[in-house]
Amino acid sequence: MAGAGRAAVRRALAAAADLVLPLRCAGCGSGRGPWCPACRDGLRVTGPGVGCVPVVDPDDGSVLEVHAAARFEGSLRRLVSAWKDEDRADATGVLVALLAGALTTALGSEPALRLALVRGEGVLVVPVPTSPAARRRRGGDPVATLARCAVVAVRGPPAGRRPGLVVVPALRHRRRVRDQSRLSRADRRANLRGALGVRARAAPTVRGATVVVVDDVVTTGATLGEASRALRRAGAAHVVGVTVARTPRPGGSRLPTGR
């Protein structure tokens, strides 16, 4: 009986430790977390060029090049969901590493970004803002956290002040939007059309700047397309997108974001 009691105590302690620092992999739920070797080995990294998704705005024909680090499927999809909605903050480092890789690829392959850095003009890193409702639900702005940490990983501390890459939370929601997760492509476009704008205090910084707009995942391109439109309306000279992952798209990768 004493042995059974000690075993019960050990199980209770293990369960309590799981609440403080989850030990199970956020990707598969069975390996050791936050990201077990099996999930790491199964990750489909897109690589330079392959991970670049052109998001087309049919209103003016402009193209936003979006660089993604990996395909949004399998264990990575489950990890992102756990990170955003199940308080798996221990998975942040995994996503930061992926986002930093995509940002490095963009900086090395996009001529406008390279030119801005060579000229010493710097590049603004602008996270897509979390809606007020999601911010309350999640207790913060997870994409902004990813952006700041990725800049530290790429350029070194302090994030937002080192010459070259500057993190600027320039975008804001101009009106309430619905949760995008269960909306169709057309509904996503309608939901976000005109929903984002540049903060008044950030407008002088955005005007004439080269910008990297950051989100966690590109699905239909509606969110990043609207973010790019808002930045271009405010006078941004060039905008490039960077994400942790992209949703695989059968039959092509061009993502129209308008009507």
Domain ranges for the chain, please list them: 1-39, 43-256
CB atoms within 10 A of CB 251: 5
Average pLDDT score over residue span 148-169 = 82
So what's the pLDDT on residue 251? Answer: 45
The highest-confidence range among 40-54, 215-229, 239-253, by mean pLDDT, is 215-229
Exposed e or buried b per residue across 109-144, where buried means at least 16 C-beta atoms within 10 angstroms of its C-beta: ebeebeebbeeeebbbbbbbbbbeebeeeeeebbbb
Confidence grade of residue 3 (pLDDT, cut at 50, 70, 90): low
Q: What are phi and psi of 173, to 5 degrees?
A: -85, 130
What does the pLDDT look like over 47-83, one tens digit per residue?
Answer: 555 568 888 776 777 889 999 999 999 999 999 999 9
The Cα 181–Cα 41 span in angstroms is 27
What does the pLDDT look like over 81-139, one tens digit per residue?
Answer: 999 888 888 899 999 999 999 999 999 999 999 999 988 889 999 999 987 676 777 67
pTM of the model: 0.82
Average pLDDT score over residue span 170-187 = 68
Stretch among 18-27, 107-116, 187-196, 202-211 having the lowest mean pLDDT: 187-196
The highest-confidence range among 15-29, 99-113, 159-173, 237-251, by mean pLDDT, is 99-113
The Cα 67–Cα 103 span in angstroms is 7
Which listed CATH number (3.40.50, 1.10.1740, 1.10.8, 2.40.360) goes with 43-256?
Answer: 3.40.50
